[in-house]
Amino acid sequence: MSGRSSGTRTPPSSSQFAYPSNVYSLDEEQLYTISAALITDPDMHSTRNLDDVPEEGQSNAGMYMNRSAASSASTFHAAPGPASATIPGPAASGNGSGRSTPIPGAQGGVAQSSRPRRAASSRTMGHKASSEQLQAAPGSGNGGGGSSANGHGSVRRTGSTASGLSKSTTRLRSENQQLPRYRSIPRLPHDKEAPPAPTTGMYWSRAPAWGTMPTRQLRSLSATLVDSVVWIIGGNEDKDRSRDIYCFDTETMQWSHPDTVGDIPPPCRAHTATLVDNKKIVVYGGGLGSIYHDTVYILDVATRRWTQPAILDGPRPAERRAHTAGYYDGKLWIFGGGNGMRALDDLWTLSLGPNQHGVEGPDKKRGLKWEEMATTGRKPGRRGYHTSSFIGNKMVTVGGSDGKDCFTDIWILNLDTLAWTCIIPQPPNAVYKRLSHSATVVGSYVFIIGGHNGEEYTSDVLLLNLVSLQFEPRTIYGRPFSVRGNHATVLADSRVFLFGGFNGQTAYEDVYILDLSTYAYLPQVTSFTMDTEL
């Protein structure tokens, strides 16, 4: 595809990691190392022949670093306002109240510049700021982003020199270095790092995110769009349950950390979070380390209250993670995943009718009921870390892995007839292996973004045409995100937002935006027919 951006990485050597236990756990650290050599273990009982699989729970110190000073490819600009001697309140890498702190001892509580005020400059903040525009705090490694590479804050002032600071001001600067990571202004991008691009092309940029940002790794997270706010659930190893949920406003680019109450679920990764009736988020499965869950939690986004609904007696799916889920016909549909011993290929539904407990209020006489669905035709093999997109009465499943193979196939399930159809792209269309990628429905296309191709991580964007069920090339400009998998993407208006991810060594908490530009009409396409006869 002519617009593909490639990325490469050198896999870590086996000497860097301890080998995992002899039980296959279907976790992301293991799946990422699947290579063209393809190990042979059909029963998935052992992973001792994976050369460079990191042990579950082994972390890299780099994944906890503040990467707010990383280079940006966005094209936002901001002109500095009139000169001021106020010091922004906590000026590190997150957002506080955004209020300014007056310098003590000055007339009126605010130190005044000895020079007359000048009108706001039309210049944008770039790599080099004059000493009158920006005075960095000791240890600061950033020249215009409002944050530093080491997580320290900075002091913004104009019209004075460092020698003119009072003792109390110097003390404030010293204390600011110890404050929590908050950023009072957005991180500003540097336009010279992004090559010129036509206004008609799709374009990657890094979001100027600000606010109460995640301070831990985000991998195998879930991202659920409710109105204009993305609810990020899970994806980190923080033992504090309350730290496991964040919100990102797609209009203001602001992060927030909402307080939730009720039966809060435990920290987890590789779970699913499905929106129901635009007001409930149903979380199922997932796990952390050697722990796998089969529990259901429901979050009311209006009241921010968690509930754990009653489950009626009867058969129920095994605990799992790396599965997929979607909502159709009043039911939650669960497919595939892994249970710690092997990959799965079963299909289950959970009734979420209007009178079910936890959906429209508690009803002691009723509860949620699991049911295993029997399908017809040849069905997909066992797999996890695939994607399933729910489009009308169809479920489109792409890629995944069973622990030894990275799949290229595309499967479509008719949710009314429960019949499977396998789609194999025909020449000249390329065949793409993918696992731990993301899939976002954009009108009559599915955008397959990032993931692992069996040999390395990618930052590619593949467009699957849902009418022809073939991949189509598109040129995408800007500077894409670094190669990764286990991220999450959502479509908001005519922009695709990408959150977090993991490249085998480093976990990310950044946000990237794919602007559809002249393809902004695609989300408006809601009526089309899939050619499942191919």
**How far apart are alpha carbons 33 and 162 in whole angstroms?**
51
Mean pLDDT in residue range 374-385: 96
Whether 100 has a pLDDT exceeding 70, the answer reads: no
> Contacts for 283-286 with beta carbons within 8 Å, 24 or more apart?
283/222, 283/233, 283/234, 284/325, 284/332, 284/334, 284/350, 285/319, 285/320, 285/321, 285/323, 285/334, 285/337, 286/220, 286/234, 286/321
In tens, the pLDDT along 299-343 reads 999 999 999 999 999 999 999 999 999 999 999 999 999 999 999
Whether 196 has a pLDDT exceeding 80, the answer reads: no
**Percent of the residues in the chain that have a pLDDT greater than 70, as a whole number:** 58
pLDDT at 242: 60
Q: How many CA atoms lie within 13 A of 124 on its CB side?
A: 12
Average model confidence (pLDDT) across the chain: 73
pLDDT at 440: 98
Whether 508 has a pLDDT exceeding 90, the answer reads: yes
Mean pLDDT in residue range 407-434: 89
SS3 call for 522? helix
> Contacts for 133-139 with beta carbons within 8 Å, 24 or more apart?
133/80, 133/158, 135/162, 137/91, 137/173, 137/176, 137/177, 138/173, 138/177, 139/177
pLDDT at 42: 39
pLDDT at 237: 67
Mean pLDDT in residue range 185-204: 70
pLDDT at 209: 96
pLDDT at 238: 66
Whether 50 has a pLDDT exceeding 80, the answer reads: no
Among the four given CATH numbers 1.10.3720.10, 2.120.10.80, 3.60.21.10, 1.10.760.10, the one describing domain 191-524 = 2.120.10.80
pLDDT at 90: 38
pLDDT at 453: 95
Higher pLDDT, 463 or 186: 463
Whether 183 has a pLDDT exceeding 70, the answer reads: no
pLDDT at 187: 54
Q: What are phi and psi of 101, to 5 degrees?
A: -105, 115
Higher pLDDT, 186 or 45: 186
Mean pLDDT in residue range 377-402: 97
pTM: 0.66
Higher pLDDT, 525 or 335: 335
pLDDT at 430: 76
> Which strands sit side by side in the sheet containing 410-414, from one edge to the other?
387-391, 394-398, 410-414, 419-423
Whether 135 has a pLDDT exceeding 70, the answer reads: no
Distant-in-sequence, close-in-space partners of 441: CB < 8 Å, separation ≥ 6? 389, 391, 447, 491
pLDDT at 70: 37
- Of the ranges 235-249, 319-333, 425-439, which one carries the lowest mean pLDDT score? 235-249
Whether 10 has a pLDDT exceeding 70, the answer reads: no
Residue type, 517: S
Whether 172 has a pLDDT exceeding 70, the answer reads: no
- Domain map (residue ranges) of the chain: 191-524
Mean pLDDT in residue range 241-251: 86
